[in-house]
Amino acid sequence: MARRDAGSLVSKLRQMSEEGISSFFNEVMSNERLRKGMARAGERFMENKRSFDRNVETVLDFVNIPSKKDVRELKARIDHLSSQLLNLSIKVDRLIAREAPKTKPAPKAGARRRGAGGTQ
């Protein structure tokens, strides 16, 4: 009987306007028995989803295919390493910039000859 009632409720929902749907849900929420039933259905749905997700992850692991979770974790690790590499690169650039004024670049050979010997 409950399936028939649920089927008739769904068919009624399809025929209602937005206002009708709003009043339907208000009526459902005012009925404690229906509200508890909806809550239990939602809880069971979430339990089934968690179980399904675990099973899919187990199968993917078995065939050596990374899951979304694995990819997210790997991306987080790569992002962390990239930021460390960027910080290291900045530090190396600063060290190079500090060392650059101490060593003077060698003058070009052509410029030295003209200045010392005049014209060639």
Determine contact, residues 25/31, Cβ cutoff 8 Å.
no
Mean pLDDT in the chain? 82
- The structure tokens listed for 112 are 């030295």
Q: pLDDT at residue 76 above 60?
A: yes
Q: Give the pair of three-digit tokens for residue 57.
A: 């992850």
- Quote the pTM value: 0.43
pLDDT, tens digit, 9 for 90 and up, residues 1-19: 566 676 777 777 777 677 7
Distance CA 14, CA 36 (A): 23
Helices (H), the chain: 2-15, 18-30, 32-62, 68-99, 109-117
Lowest mean pLDDT among 4-8, 61-65, 77-81: 4-8
Quote the pLDDT of residue 109: 61
**60 pLDDT above the threshold of 60:** yes
User: What pLDDT was estimated at residue 7?
Assistant: 72
Contact assessment for residue 45 and residue 37, using Cβ atoms and an 8 Å cutoff: no
Query: Measured in Å, how far apart are the chain's first and last C-alpha atoms?
Result: 112
pLDDT at residue number 111: 54
